[in-house]
A and B are shown apart, each in its own frame.
Chain A
Amino acid sequence: MARDKSSPSTGAQTGEVESTEGFSGAISSVAANGASAASGEAAIEIKNLVKRYRNMITREWVNAVNDISLEVKQGEIFGFLGPNGAGKTTTIKALLGLIFPDSGVVKVLGQAPGNNEIKARISYLPESPYFYEHMSAKEIINFYASLFGLDPRERSKRADYLIDLVGLASAGNKPLRAFSKGMLQRVGIAQSLINDPKVLFFDEPTSGLDPIAHRDIRDLILHLRTEGRTLFLSSHQLSDVELVCDRVSILYRGKIRKMGRVDELVIGGNVEILVMGLDPTPTVTAELTALGAKLEQSGRDTLIIGKADIESKNALIDLIRRYKAQLIAVTPTRRTLEDIFIETVREGEVEAGEATKFAEASTAEALEVK
């Protein structure tokens, strides 16, 4: 078969085999220079993407992705968030040319996905990937490298470099069936770097990993960030996303509910006031709502979540005193991406007219943590 002329040149990368300090050395430079280098050109473009599936039981059409549009600049780390079933993987598959849009346009590096020229410049790490277990880490990297048409010597050099980069040098010749999930995920990242890709798609790269493997993979992502690659990251690890991403979008039921820079989204905080003996009568609830606060009840304890500014805080404390309730704690909280995520999903649920078990569960969980 004719090999695409656009197959990647990995000369620059293979040259690093001798000069690299190893992954830990690369990470130390991240602390000094954590920012990514996003340029003006679009690496990923999605315009009005719609993807529908037919429910096999009810025979009804369901919009897995419902008219979403976004653009990711080259060199940008973009977090693509959403609860399970929101349409994240469907969107990624459309960007890889694995599925075809019902309507709308998707482009990667300015071209329609799916052709070999584009595939040579991108890479994909699926959630919980499986690799041929009879092969060793080096063999599987060799296997994937040969799909790029690299010659055996170059493949072998590249495999050694990548195995070392992901911290598997001592286990490179062991069969993958003996690997833990974290080790397999490292192999997955190594295979995603074979072609020195310009754009990477990572789907839940840290799901189900132990804390050490989790941190290592996060560090690897930070390493990729310093190399100026574009990363489209789907993850439930919101603290990681907050740390590594320039921008995020939050998807719910196939629609983008929120999108923006992480630092802009997390601006503004709340105050959590824990109170005992406050009867949540409709009057109390109405007064709290008027002050922009929310009330969550757990037994005799009440958690009031209000705005963090001094006027709102004082007004809430005055209200508690007025109703002769006992003030237990006042805790100012910074908004995190998790807050924004939960808020966005709840809004989506309310919009979808759902009484949410999810909201109750997360409230109970929040109180338990306190």
Chain B
Amino acid sequence: MGTVFTLAQGTFGEAIRRKILNIFLMVALAMIGLYFAFTSFTAREDLTITLSTGLGVISLAGVFISVILGINLVPSEIEKRTIYTILSKPVRRHEFLLGKFFGGLTTVFVNIALMGIVFILLVWFKIRHPEASVWEGVLMIFFQMMLLSAVALLFSVFVSPFVNFFLTFSVYLLGSMSSVTESLATPGKDKNPITVGFFWLIHFLIPNLGNINIQNPIIHPDIQIQNMDVYMAQTILYAIIYSAIMLLIAILIFDRREV
């Protein structure tokens, strides 16, 4: 575990200083700040809009940070030849990959946490009491990004960063529309079984990001979750298992990959 930790530390130190990621963070923080500066809160609807806007900004910045970071974690090490000095030391390939992933994930966590803390504090300051759904939303965004980072890392072991960018983004978009793919995958009288089968496969393979996205219940308050703790535990478990499967596949491919 020491090797993975060392590699994660190195990766985090490098990633947290990447200017492009810092720009996304700064823009997101500025957008959140400006929104609060020019909005007055008078009604419940305003809070709902504020929450969905703030979480939307955090989510979007999180997507860019996770994808740009994730698609470059392994290729940049190959391009800069750092991987050669690391893999020629007593480091197993899976340790290298896990080190890269956890280093990247820590970077994503720090970025989302920074945006989340600012957002939570601003909401608290405006409505004069803490709002639980804000931190729940931020937490779920992090797990959504964890999943997306694992997908990006998987693609990064066998496609170029350019292709990976579009692939991971497609996964994000399709995964965010999981309710749509679910309805298309549901058999019906007028539906072609092949089409239904195709969408079932898509729905099965693509991560169900729509369910993880807590903003949906915020935007649509009519959708009531009976037990928020159970719902969150289930979706977090889903994100962890899905990410673990992605990492396992990535390890199996990377183990035989020539660098």
Do A and B originate from a single complex? yes
A contact set with B: CB distance below 8 Å: 1, 3-4, 7, 93, 96-100, 116, 119-120, 122-135, 143-144, 146-149, 188, 191, 195, 201
Residues of A within 8 A of B221 (CB): none
Contact A130 B80 (CB under 8 A): yes
Question: Which B residues lie within 8 Å of A147 (CB)?
Answer: 3, 6-7, 86, 89-91
- Is B4 at the interface (CB under 8 A from chain A)? yes
Interface residues of B (CB under 8 A from A): 1-4, 6-7, 9-10, 13-14, 17, 80-82, 84-92, 95, 256, 258-259
Q: List, in ascending order, chain B residues with CB within 8 A of A134's CB.
A: 13-14, 17
Instruction: Look across to chain B and name the residue whose beta carbon is closest to the beta carbon of A121.
Output: B90
Give A129 to B85 CA distance when docked, in angstroms: 8
Which chain A residues lie closer than 8 Å to B89 at the CB level?
119, 144, 147-148, 195
Q: Which chain A positions have C-beta within 8 A of B82?
A: 129-132
Bound complex: CA A264 to CA B256 (Å): 42
Chain B residue nearest in CB terms to A95: B88
Contacts of A120 in B (CB 8 A): 90
Q: How many pairs, one residue from A and one from B, have CB atoms within 8 Å of each other in the complex?
A: 88
Nearest-CB residue, chain A, relative to B1? A1
Q: A98, A123, A191: which contacts B259 (Cβ < 8 A)?
A: A98
Beyond the given A1-B2, A134-B14, A147-B91, please list 11 additional residue pairs across the A-B interface where CB-CB is below 8 A. A98-B87, A99-B259, A100-B256, A129-B81, A130-B80, A131-B82, A135-B13, A144-B85, A147-B3, A147-B7, A147-B89
Say yes or no: A100 contacts B258, CB within 8 Å: yes
B7 CB contacts on chain A under 8 angstroms: 147
Chain B residues with CB under 8 A of A99: 258-259
A98-B259, A132-B14, A134-B14 as given contacts; A116 in contact with B90, CB under 8 Å: yes
CA distance A3 to B4 in the complex (A): 12
C-alpha spacing A188/B95, complex, angstroms:
22
List 10 contacting pairs A-B, 8 Å CB cutoff, sorted by A: A98-B87, A119-B89, A119-B91, A128-B81, A129-B81, A129-B85, A132-B10, A146-B6, A147-B89, A195-B89
Q: Which residue of A lies closest to B95 (CB)?
A: A1
- With a cutoff of 8 Å between Cβ atoms, the chain B residues found around residue A93 in the complex are 84, 258-259
- For the complex, what is the distance from the CA of A132 to the CA of B90, rounded to whole Å? 19
B87 to chain A minimum Cβ distance, whole angstroms, is 6
- Complex: chain B residue closest to A92, CB-CB: B84
Query: Given contacts A98-B84, A130-B81, A134-B17, are A146 and B2 in contact (CB under 8 A)?
Result: yes
Q: Which residues of B are found within 8 Å of A149, using beta-carbon distances?
A: 2-3, 90
Partner pick for A126 among B9, B13, B85, B91, CB 8 A cutoff: B85
In the A-B complex, list the 10 residue pairs whose CB atoms are closest, starting with the nearest. A130-B80, A124-B88, A116-B90, A99-B258, A147-B89, A146-B6, A126-B84, A119-B90, A126-B81, A120-B90
Q: Which residues on A sit within 8 Å (CB–CB) of B90? A: 3-4, 7, 116, 119-120, 147-149
A119:B14 contact, CB within 8 angstroms: no
**A302 to B80, alpha carbons, bound, how many Å?**
47
In the complex, what distance in Å separates the CA atom of A133 from the CA atom of B3?
A: 20
Complex interface: chain A residues within 8 A of B6 (CB): 143, 146-147
Asked whether B258 lies within 8 Å of A98 as measured between CB atoms, the reply is yes
Q: How far is the CB of A180 from chain B (nearest CB, A)?
A: 17
B-side contacts of A127, CB under 8 Å: 81
How far apart sit A124 and B4, CA to CA, in the bound complex (Å)? 21
A93 to B2, CA, bound (A): 26
Interface centre among B4, B7, B92 (most CB of A within 10 A): B92
Judge whether B88 and A96 touch: CB under 8 Å. yes
Closest to A203 in B: B84
Interface centre among B7, B88, B91 (most CB of A within 10 A): B88
How distant is the Cα of A3 from the Cα of B95 in the complex, in angstroms? 12
A residues within 8 A CB of B14? 132-134
Chain A contacts for B259, CB-based, 8 A: 93, 98-99
Cα of A229 to Cα of B93 in the assembled complex, Å:
27
Taking CB atoms, residues of chain A closer than 8 Å to B1 are: 1
Q: Is the CB of A122 within 8 A of B88?
A: yes
Q: Roughly how many angstroms separate A148 CA and B86 CA in the complex, as a whole number?
A: 10
Expressed in whole angstroms, the minimum distance between the Cβ of A110 and any Cβ of chain B is 17
Q: Which residues of B are found within 8 Å of A188, using beta-carbon distances?
A: 85
A269 to B84, CA, bound (A): 41
Contact across chains for B4 and A1 when beta carbons are under 8 A apart: yes
Q: Is the CB of B258 within 8 A of A3?
A: no
